Amino acid sequence: MENTTPRLRLNSLPIRAPTFSLRSSKTFPNAPYFDWDKLPRYQKFESLGRMLRKCMTEEAGTNNNKGFLPPAILEHILSREVIEHELKSQEYRYTAETVDVMFQTEEEALDDSADFPGGTKTYFIVFATLALLDKVCDIYQFMEMKDTSLGDQDLPNLKLHQDEDGKRELRRGEELQQMRCFDGFVDHELESFDDYQWRLRVPTFALGPKETIRHYDLHDKDILPWYEEHSVSQNEVMSGGYGSVKKVKIHPLCHDYHETLKAINVSGGQFAVKTLKNSDAIKFQDEVNMLKKFNGLVHDHLVTLLGTFTYKGQFSMIFPWAECDVENYWLKINPMPNLEDIEFVRWVSRQCRGIMESVNVIHNPKHPETLPKETLYGRHGDIKAENILWFKSPDEADRGIWVISDLGLSTFNREVSRSMVPNQSILYTPGYRPPECDIKGGKISRAFDIWTLGCFYLEMTCWFLGGRKLKDNFETDRTTTYITGSRADIFFDLELNGEDKTNETFIALIKPQVVRMIDDLHNHPNCTKYIHDMLEIIEKDMIVVLNQERTRSPKLLKKLNEMNQKCIDDVDYCMKKTPVKRTFQAPIGTEARLSENAMNMVTKNNMRGRLSTHVPKRPVQKSPRVEELENVD
């Protein structure tokens, strides 16, 4: 069945499937890790066809295909000497002109078409295909018919037809008759020619001009040039609710991402292919647009989209492969940090600063070329440990780099409308869910990311000081019953407002368990001045009930930059243990009216009889006006 995927446009260009063409002046991918010496020598084989079949078997890919040959290997094998030897050994009426046609580039064919019998075409892949069929002597009948010759440019556009009598024919495109060059071919030879045209024309993935993202609209018969492939379980990295992920090893000569991976400070070799669960072209385009604007070429701590493709009706994206997400990094890679290693401590500081800087890039992007006179504001919308990936990095030795991923919920808003996103329409992460998701008039703004990043930093600090065990204990301690009727490990709570006789308002407050954990971390025996400053930022600037009172990313980045510099300049700042015992202060409650959705949950789950009644130990903040909530950006 042919691909009927809707055509899209990326980078203002129609989607198509470019590839590195044989006998072109274009440069093949520079694969520094490919061992050319492992290729078999032509002299060891009775024929070129046997050698090509051997190479295909060794380069076999996934999906049970029978093997493929990257264009670069084919060009490496088909030297002038090999072609001349093949033609002579077949007692073919060899002429130098025939070989000259073989070795003309596509550009030369277009410029000098009058001088060659083959016209404006090249014949490298055709020759290789005939060699695989042990029919190299038929090459001239593919070249000699100037108007109806069949060259590399016609592949893989041949279609195998079968008439009512079972007779097979190979036709070009929508032509109604078989091409004359196939006269004398029997059915199994036509079937093999059809098969080989795909195995010798595998896609080669690369960035476009000026490092733009290319889209490849692949045919259903295209062979994906993966060495290895395995599905990723939900417990592994990059698996989410919006698509499935496969870990693949792309043949090093079928992608040109080697230098790009170096540029973004990521070790290469393996890739993640994320495929959307449905064929939603708009959702795919939205996510791609965000990933094009925000990637590792813009900032090291943002995930890099390398390419996209459609295949068998599904949309897919190619990313560098991460070793794991940060949640699994805490669990498996480094469950108990070595706080005596100053370079490790400084590395953690760099990661925290880098993550904040990448969020600031999203929140305050430079004016895009498409809208030079408008200020746009972005937000991520789903920051959590599972969406921050750990990549091995050549520059960070065995420590690697933390990178924000999964921009599937990210959005852009113009200045005039950046706050006008109602909380009813947002998809959110349960554990890091901020209060505005349930407050009447609450809008999903950039402050949403500040809250979720504050939650991430607090869990990170638990892991940093007490390892995975302390982080897990904190998660257990703060898990309580929420208005959804289920247990939730969110960082705030809702209580009944005992002072409101109308029962129209509730009290939103940071969970006491969160406040106590912050106190405990200040008093932890491993706590340093750096950690005191980090906890102060988390508590005072980020995990704050009212979103308009959270500090914006530029100011937070300035603070983290200063802290990171102190880690470099002052050893005591990040290494000297300075625990401080603090007296617990009950969190301040904020009067709030709940959204319609939240009130429905309260009623449906009979939560009025299950929620605690707020006992004010400190003055309660009055509920902000709806207009105030709507003005948050």
Task: Say which residue, 309 or 18, is predicted with more confidence.
Answer: 309
Query: Do 303 and 347 share a domain, yes or no?
Result: no
Rounded Cα–Cα distance for residues 240 and 408 (Å): 10
Residue 309 sits in the same domain as residue 424: no
Task: Give the pLDDT confidence score for residue 375 in this predicted structure.
Answer: 52
7 within a domain of the structure (yes/no)? no
286/402 same-domain check:
no
DSSP calls for 391-408: E--GGGTTT-EEEE--GG
- Taking residues 131-150, report their average pLDDT: 81
Give the pLDDT confidence of 385-432 residue by residue, as tens digits: 999 999 987 766 668 999 998 775 555 544 333 333 445 544 444 799
Domain that holds residue 67: 20-199
Any domain includes 13: no
Tell me what the pLDDT averaged over the chain comes to: 82
Stretch 494-503: mean pLDDT: 90
Pair (550, 584) in one structural domain? yes
Q: What is the CATH number of the domain that holds 348?
A: 1.10.510.10
Reported as a pLDDT band with limits 50, 70 and 90, residue 276 is: confident
Per-residue pLDDT band at 382 (split at 50, 70, 90): confident
Residue with tokens 């069949």: 150
Cα angle 598, 601, 602; round to 5: 90
Residue 631 has a pLDDT of 58
Last residue of a domain, one of 151, 175, 199: 199
Confidence of residue 13 (pLDDT cuts 50, 70, 90): very low
Q: Is the pLDDT score of 370 beyond 50? A: no
Of 176-180, 215-219, 348-352, least confident by mean pLDDT is: 176-180
Instruction: Report DSSP letters for 117-184, one per residue.
Output: TT-S---HHHHHHHHHTT-GGGHHHHHS-TTT---GGGTT-EEEEE-TT--EEEEETT-SS--GGGTT
More confident call, 105 vs 275? 275
The reply to whether the predicted model has a pTM over 0.85 is no
Over 80: is that where the pLDDT of 319 sits? yes
Q: How confident is the model at residue 278 (pLDDT cuts 50, 70, 90)?
A: low
pLDDT at 599 > cutoff 80: yes
pLDDT the model gives residue 84 = 86
Least confident piece of the model among 66-75, 92-101, 608-617: 92-101
pLDDT of residue 62: 57
Mean pLDDT of 589-596: 93
What is the mean pLDDT of the segment spanning 500-507? 89
Whether 359 maps to a domain, the answer reads yes
- Residue indicated by tokens 């580039």: 105
Residues 243 and 189 in one domain: no
Q: Structurally, how many domains does the chain consist of?
A: 3
- Show the tokens assigned to 115: 């001088």
Rounded to whole angstroms, the Cα distance separating 363 from 357 reads 10
Residue 368 lies in a domain: yes
Q: Are 230 and 332 members of one domain? A: no
Residues 36 and 99 occupy one common structural domain: yes
C-alpha 613/C-alpha 179 separation (Å) is 84
Name the residue with higher pLDDT: 358 or 392: 358
Split at pLDDT 50, 70, 90, the class of 378 is confident
More confident site: 601 or 286 = 601
107-111, 244-248, 267-271, 572-576, range with the lowest pLDDT: 107-111
Q: What's the whole-number mean pLDDT along residues 557-573?
A: 99
Predicted confidence at residue 396, as pLDDT, reads 66
Average pLDDT over residues 252-276: 84
- Start-end of H helices in 35-119: 48-58, 71-77, 80-89, 96-102, 106-111
Task: Indicate whether 26 pLDDT > 90.
Answer: no
Please tell me whether residues 299 and 386 are part of one structural domain. no
Residue 284 lies in a domain: yes
Pair 35, 155 in one domain: yes
Is 10 a domain residue? no
Give 61-82 pLDDT, tens digit per residue. Answer: 655 667 888 888 888 888 888 8
Please tell me whether residues 99 and 128 are part of one structural domain: yes
Angstrom distance (rounded) from CA 68 to CA 364: 46
Kindly tell me if the per-residue pLDDT of 172 is higher than 70.
yes
Q: Which of 302, 320, 338 is the last residue of a domain?
A: 320
Q: Which of 169-178, 335-344, 345-354 has the lowest mean pLDDT?
A: 169-178
476 vs 518: CA distance, rounded Å: 15
Instruction: Give 621's strand partners.
Output: 590
> Range with the lowest mean pLDDT among 21-25, 122-126, 147-151?
21-25
The verdict on 263 and 393 lying in the same domain is no
Does 335 score more than 80 pLDDT? yes
More confident residue, 116 or 594: 594
Asked whether residue 101 carries a pLDDT value surpassing 80, the answer given is no
pLDDT tier at 183, thresholds 50, 70, 90: confident
In a domain? residue 338: yes
Last residue of a domain, one of 273, 296, 320: 320
Residues with Cβ within 8 Å of 574's Cβ and at least 6 positions away in sequence, in order, are 342, 345, 346, 349, 528, 529, 530, 566, 567
Looking at the structure, tell me whether residues 555 and 457 fall in a common domain: yes
Q: Is residue 86 included in any domain, yes or no?
A: yes
Mean pLDDT, rounded, for 127-134:
94
Question: Given this model, what pLDDT does residue 55 score?
Answer: 85
Domain holding 313: CATH number? 3.30.200.20
Question: Is residue 350 predicted with pLDDT exceeding 80?
Answer: yes
